[in-house]
A and B are shown apart, each in its own frame.
Chain A
């Protein structure tokens, strides 16, 4: 009798232990779980999982007609500059980072870190870092200091991380699309499988857009990858003062170069 009671007690203890372990696991797997932590690559060109389609190309921005005409003209000018072999001098050649939302295209590998109260996303290209503060109220837009990555707050809705970003400098443009200081970027991040997650992006800006601009990016885990440092330095591309296009300096700086110094721009 006593022996059987001991057995029952042991079984109950085992069940309680397993329940506790289950609860701990459930907590770990609950919203806010660590699945996003790690290194990621843009999904679509490598490590394709036949069960998960790659994200469609980013759609054209639904700009208001006047801005759309300007944007189309600017796209056309860029194409013509390329055709002349004098590509336009843009942000990258000036060592400027993407900012938001372009950073999330993950041109190079990306790292996500989940810590209490914060999710940090690091993009290898241009050492870009954005911090998403969890369960905080968003700032009034007029109080958000304009920057490249803005001010982001987020919270979990079930398995989806919902993020709102404001405070993007008007000069920081994704695909050359103009926007106002009041632009808001909403994102919904969720795991699609153990090793793939998506970011559904919605850009809202009634001053410039006829409707919200929506697109999706997907990412595939890059196990064991260590993000490299990226300092934009000593770029030999420069802006041709005559054409405005990109030129490349011939010859290394310093005595190693045997080439003549680049000609001074003509007045």
Chain B
């Protein structure tokens, strides 16, 4: 625990230098979306997941979800081919502040139950 606190302090001291600000996303009001992958874009500077989702009220939405880049994701265990069109996945995202159907990935749960984060700069999920 002390180690974690120490690591946290170090991160604060050295600053996590991300590509850009994540201020267009609302990190305090994260949402959970389940649905079907329609597109998976493994590119720099960002990886994108596109998914169709119908919520409990029957409302259909198409979401675009921004992820970190292939390098960051590779280093935390992702693979370029681990998400495919048609996969049923669940994501936790920090939604766009504009209210559009998009956001920054915090966590993805794959069809086989494996969970992945989105790297240190993007931050962690604060809901389950």
Contacts and interface: CB of A to CB of B under 8 A. Distances in A.
A252 B24 contact: no
Contacts of A245: 24
A126 B64 CA distance: 23
Interface string B94-115: 0011101110000000000000
Given A107-B17, A250-B101, A252-B38, A82 B23 contact: yes
Interface in A210-265: 228, 230-237, 245-252, 254, 256-259
A147 interface: no
Contact of A228 (B14, B20, B71): B71
Ranked nearest first, the 8 interchain pairs of A and B with the lowest CB-CB distance are A252-B39, A85-B97, A87-B21, A82-B23, A259-B62, A256-B39, A44-B14, A252-B50
Contacts of B101: 250, 259
B105 to A, nearest CB: 12
B70 interface: yes
Interface residues of B, number: 41
Interface in A81-122: 81-88, 90, 92-93, 95, 105, 107-109
Given A230-B44, A251-B50, A45 B14 contact: yes
B39 A87 contact: no
A100 to B, nearest CB: 16
Given A249-B64, A258-B52, A85 B20 contact: no
Interface in B55-79: 62-64, 66, 69-72, 74
Interface in B15-41: 15-17, 19-24, 26, 38-39, 41
Most chain A CB within a 10 A radius of its CB, from B11, B13, B24: B24
A82 B21 contact: yes
Interface in A26-57: 44-45, 48, 54-55, 57
A87 B23 contact: yes
Contacts of A205: none
A252 B46 CA distance: 13
B127 interface: no
Contacts of A257: 38-39, 50, 62
B80 to A, nearest CB: 10
A234 B96 contact: no
B62 A92 contact: no
Nearest to B102: A250
Contacts of B23: 81-87
Contact of B14 (A57, A233, A249, A254): A57
Contacts, number: 121
Nearest to A95: B45
B62 A256 contact: no
A265 to B, nearest CB: 14
Interface in A49-80: 54-55, 57, 78
12 contacts: A44-B10, A45-B14, A82-B23, A87-B21, A107-B17, A107-B19, A125-B71, A126-B44, A230-B71, A252-B50, A256-B38, A256-B50
A187 interface: no
A199 interface: no
A90 B20 contact: yes
A145 B15 CA distance: 33
Contacts of A107: 17, 19
